[in-house]
C-alpha cells in the first residue's frame, strides 16, 4: 500500500465493538491489523487510543463532525 487509505465501513460483534474495518480500496482488516497499520501511518483520519484496561482501540481524529466517527460508519 503506497498511499494512505481511509476507513469506509466497519464490522461489529454482538456487543457493538468494531472487529474489522474496510478501507477505500475494498480490503478488509481485523481491528488488530488496522491498529498496527494506523501506527505505521498507513490509515488516515484515525488514531490509536488506549483504554483504562490497557487495551488499544481505534478512534476517529477529532474534528467536531460526529458523522465520521468509526461507530457511525456503515456496517458491512
Per-residue pLDDT at 1: 42
Give the pLDDT confidence of 7-40 residue by residue, as tens digits: 999 999 999 999 999 999 999 999 999 999 999 9
Strands 46-50 and 7-12: unpaired
Cα separation, 5 vs 1, whole angstroms: 9
Domain positions in the chain: 7-63
- pLDDT band of residue 2 (cuts 50, 70, 90) is low
User: If you average pLDDT over residues 55-71, what whole number do you get?
Assistant: 89
Task: Give the pTM.
Answer: 0.89
Amino acid at each position: 500500500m503506497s498511499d494512505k487509505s481511509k476507513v469506509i465501513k466497519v464490522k461489529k460483534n454482538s456487543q457493538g465493538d468494531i472487529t474489522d474495518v474496510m478501507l477505500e480500496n475494498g480490503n478488509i482488516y481485523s481491528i488488530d491489523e488496522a491498529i498496527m497499520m494506523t501506527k505505521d501511518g498507513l490509515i488516515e483520519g484515525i488514531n490509536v487510543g488506549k483504554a483504562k484496561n490497557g487495551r488499544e482501540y481505534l478512534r476517529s481524529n477529532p474534528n467536531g463532525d460526529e458523522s465520521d466517527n468509526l461507530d457511525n460508519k456503515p456496517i458491512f
